[in-house]
Structure 1
Amino acid sequence: MLSFFKSVPLKKLKKAHAKKLEQAMHAQRKGDIRSFATITSEAEELKREIQKLQQESAQEKA
């Protein structure tokens, strides 16, 4: 039952990650490399959090 509640934050993080990647793409296309770098690093941080949650859920299942 606890895994049911943990899927919601994971979905939110995945959605936020996809949004950051899209923002980074638009910044890069506009030639704003500083914004691109900042947004990309934020997206990488979200990706790390997603991986951490996935590992925790995998360990709970084992």
Structure 2
Amino acid sequence: MFGFLKKKSEKEKLQDRYKKLLKEAHALSTIDRKQSDQKTWEADQVLKQIESLSQ
């Protein structure tokens, strides 16, 4: 009922950031491939952090 008052965990924050980076990478893929690759790399680093939290 009061889910909006619940604070996000570190994992949830990282998952949101990962999704945002992938969306940015996809949008940049038609404009600037180098920036798109950079965003994809950043998303990969965030994914590694998520996986380390899961262990």
- What TM-score comes out, normalization by structure 1 length? 0.74
* C-alpha separation in 2, matches of 1:17 and 1:51: 12
Aligned identity (percent) is: 25
- Runs of 4+ with deviation above 3 angstroms: none
- Three-state SS of the structure 2 residue aligned to 1:29 is coil
Structure (1/2) with the larger helix percentage: 1
| Structure 1: gaps spanning 5 or more residues | 1-6, 56-62
The residue that corresponds to 2:46 in the other structure is: 46
Deviations 1:26-51 (A, max 9, x none): 00032x10000100000000000000
TM-score, normalisation: structure 2: 0.82
> RMSD of aligned C-alpha atoms?
1.1
Count the aligned residue pairs. 48
Which structure has the larger Rg over C-alpha atoms?
1
1:10 aligns with 2:47: no
